[in-house]
Amino acid sequence: MKHESPPRAWVDVDLEAIAHNLDIVRQALPDTALMPVIKAGAYGHGLEPVARRLDTDGISFFGVANAGEARRLSRAGVRTKPFILGPTIPDEREEVVLNNWGCTVSTVEEAEHFQSLAALYDKTVLLHVAVDTGMGREGFLPAQLGEIAPRLKALPNVMVDGVMSHFPAADEDVPYTQQEIALFTDCVQLLQQHFRLRYRHIAASAGELGYEVPVANLARPGLLLYGVAPMASIYDGVLRPTLELHSRISLVRELPAGHGVAYGRTFITPRPTRVATIGIGYADGWNRHLSGHGARLFINGCYCPMLGRVTMDQIMADVTDVPGVSPGDEVELIGPHIPATEVAERAQTIVWEIFTGLGPRLPRFY
Ligand SMILES: *Cc1c(COP(=O)(O)O)cnc(C)c1O
């Protein structure tokens, strides 16, 4: 095609900022191996580009959510081993065994299934025993470990290579989390009587910020890599933002006082108002819960209130006080003037959901 129109809305990703943030985590945890978590398309930043940028020596695994993401890494030529964080579904396990991906087990049945698949292909599968120290999502209960350890050890094609858990409340409940660290330590010591545990891990971003876990030797940073610390910390001011969200104005009009804007007419102009229509909506991940909660946009050097409800592909903003606004002008939705944390707060959600909600319709520029 001779001329391709520019996108109405897009994401600018700073891969160097992600690499910088990983370095910051590495400096803070000098004796700990790292599993950068790049599930959910690297939190909306783009799975393959982020993996390629971080695919250097010194990283033990890439944390992913499922076999599909692990496969995409393999196909992209990424050398670092993918690690599937949650439980595997039975139909994923053959691919896990054949590709030597890392994964967890939470039941003896799962381990036996892995054993039969590994025996079929004459392979050894390396598994991390998941322990449920409080999250209630996966893992053996601590009280089961004494009984199951010998049963896992008896599986000839299964090698228990690690132990993992996950904090449910590291950013909300310090005493609970400290208790949990003691429990995890006990679990590791018990399992170490049976296995050589090369990897011992429990902390995601919040856990890495607030706690020492002497028994752990691997950390799983996610959000920190994308420039946001989930709690006040030594990282404040040193992490770099990694992503900007932009759109463009499609139309600028003058509406009289008393005119409704968007579905439900939840906003009625209190005065004659210049209204810009902007080419982004909830289908792109501009969360519909931002409607009516004071979301603002940055246009031509000014903050402008978003008006009314977010629609699927378009939003409206009040540009009455912004000089010289015209169709085609850029709009900052997340960027230097509007942090992602502000958007999450206005949408009454968490910044993880804002990042991962950025939709496939938005092209990513690196
Ligand atoms: C998503 C995930 C992480 C990363 O969490 P952040 O809070 O983004 O650092 C770490 N571990 C597990 C098991 C996860 O599911």
- Which residue's alpha carbon is at the smallest distance from atom 13 of ligand 1? 85
Asked if pLDDT for residue 236 goes beyond 80, the answer is no
Establish whether 263 is a catalytic residue: yes
Whether 187 contacts 228, CB under 8 Å: no
Selecting among 39, 43, 81, 235, the annotated active-site residue is: 39
Atom of ligand 1 lying closest to residue 230 CA: 7
Which of the two residues, 273 and 1, has the higher pLDDT score?
273
Q: Measured from the CA of 221, which atom of ligand 1 is nearest?
A: 9
Is residue 50 predicted with pLDDT exceeding 90? yes
The mean per-residue pLDDT over the stretch 252-281 comes to 98
Q: Is the pLDDT of residue 30 over 80?
A: yes
What proportion of the chain, given as a percentage, has pLDDT over 70? 99
Clarify whether 2 is annotated catalytic. no
221 lines ligand 1 (CB under 6 A): yes
Please say if the pLDDT value at position 1 is more than 70.
no
For the chain, the average pLDDT equals 96
Please tell me the distance between residue 159's alpha carbon and the centre of ligand 1 in angstroms: 24
Predicted pLDDT of residue 230:
87
HEC string for the chain: CCCCCCCCEEEEECHHHHHHHHHHHHHHCCCCEECCECHHHHHCCCHHHHHHHHCCCCECEEEECCHHHHHHHHHCCCCCEEEECCCCCHHHHHHHHHHCCEEEECCHHHHHHHHHHHHHCCCCEEEEEEECCCCCCCCECHHHHHHHHHHHHCCCCEEEEEEECCCCCCCCCHHHHHHHHHHHHHHHHHHHCCCCCCEEECCCHHHHHHCCCCCCCEECCCHHHHCCCCCCCCCCCCCCCCEEEEEEEEEEEEECCCCEECHHHCEECCCCEEEEEECCCHHHCCCHHHCCCCCEEEECCEEEEEECCCCCCCEEEECCCCCCCCCCCEEEEECCCCCHHHHHHHCCCCHHHHHHHCCCCCCEEC
Q: Which residues pair with 130 in a beta bridge?
A: 164
Q: What is the mean pLDDT of residues 325-330?
A: 98
CA angle 119, 123, 127 (to 5 degrees): 95
Q: How far apart are CA 168 and CA 68, in angstroms?
A: 26
Work out the pLDDT band at 177, boundaries 50, 70, 90.
Answer: very high
What local confidence, expressed as pLDDT, does residue 140 receive? 98
For ligand 1, whether the C-beta of 205 sits within 6 Å is yes
Average pLDDT over residues 239-261: 98
Cβ atoms of 108 and 148 closer than 8 Å: yes
The pLDDT of residue 231 is above 90:
no
Mean local confidence (pLDDT), 47-62: 93
Q: What average pLDDT score do residues 268-291 get?
A: 98
Q: Counting atoms of ligand 1 from 1, which one is nearest the CA of 220? A: 10
In angstroms, what is the span from residue 179 Cα to ligand 1's centroid? 20
Do 73 and 42 contact (CB within 8 A), yes or no? no
Instruction: Please give the average per-residue pLDDT across 87-112, as a whole number.
Output: 98
Q: Over 80: is that where the pLDDT of 151 sits? A: yes
**Out of 121, 153, 263, 366, which one is annotated catalytic?**
263
85 confidence band (pLDDT: 50, 70, 90): very high
| 2, pLDDT greater than 90 | no
